[in-house]
Amino acid sequence: MNAGPSSTYSYTWTPARPLPTRVRTSPQELYQISGAFAVLTLDFLLILYFGGALYAAPGILVSLPLWEAVVVAAVAALTAFVAHEMAHKVSAQRGGYWAEFRWAPLWLAFSVLTSYLGFLLAAPGATVVGGMGSSRDWGRTSLAGPLVNMGFALAFYAGSFAAWSFGSVVYFPLLVIAFFNGWFGALNLIPLGPLDGAKVLRWSVPNWVAAFAVGAVIAGLCYVGLFVVGRPGL
């Protein structure tokens, strides 16, 4: 499964560093991030509950009532994707730059097709930043998204472990959400093309190495728990 939001930014140079500002949004951004969130929720539902026409197999959450699978898909999309993009936005705007999310409608439509087939290839859109010329600012802004994913992955993994320890079946949906966050964060730290990792690496090699190593460990832990042992823990 190939998953992970693509991040594309503007590289407009500004000679003077702007003053910090409070976080702002617009009706256009709210409309587009809401639309992308809805489509990603559908994508996750198609994979997690229906499995995919390509494999003619049920999803891993097929044992849940449909409404519960919808909740899991929505929480996964909200934490792994929306929170990731908003972390970029907040980091940039707190640094004094204009930043808003913009969707990619054709890629959103393509993501629904791939999810229907049974795998997710998604580039729902990106947080566009204007006026940022410093590699340090680019690196810190880019790193904010994967760090949020890592935090959510660890939080949901811990919740899954606690639920499993008490014998609650809710451990499995929590582990699924942890997995999506772990892998969104790790894949976005790959230093290629428009991914966050390329900007972090240009800013600081040690910071990229540390972030990628931690992200890879978290993603691996979630993968082993979900697909190898079927529960949190080794």
Ordered mean pLDDT values, 10 residues apiece, the chain (234 residues): 42 48 90 98 96 89 96 98 98 95 97 94 93 94 98 98 97 98 97 96 98 98 96 88
Parent domain of 180: 27-228
Residue 4 lies in a domain: no
| C-beta of residue 124 within 8 angstroms of C-beta of residue 96 | no
Position 22 scores a pLDDT of 77
The SS3 call for residue 81 is helix
In a domain, 145, yes or no: yes
Which pTM value belongs to this model? 0.89
* pLDDT value of residue 233: 85
Q: How many CB atoms lie within 10 A of CB 153?
A: 27
Q: Which amino acid is at 154?
A: L
Task: Tell me which H or E stretch contains 96.
Answer: none
Cα distances from 154 to residues 2, 101, 180, 219, in angstroms, run 21, 25, 11, 10
Angle at 147 (CA atoms; ends 51, 12), nearest 5 degrees: 105
For the chain, how many structural domains are there in total?
A: 1
pLDDT of residue 19: 55
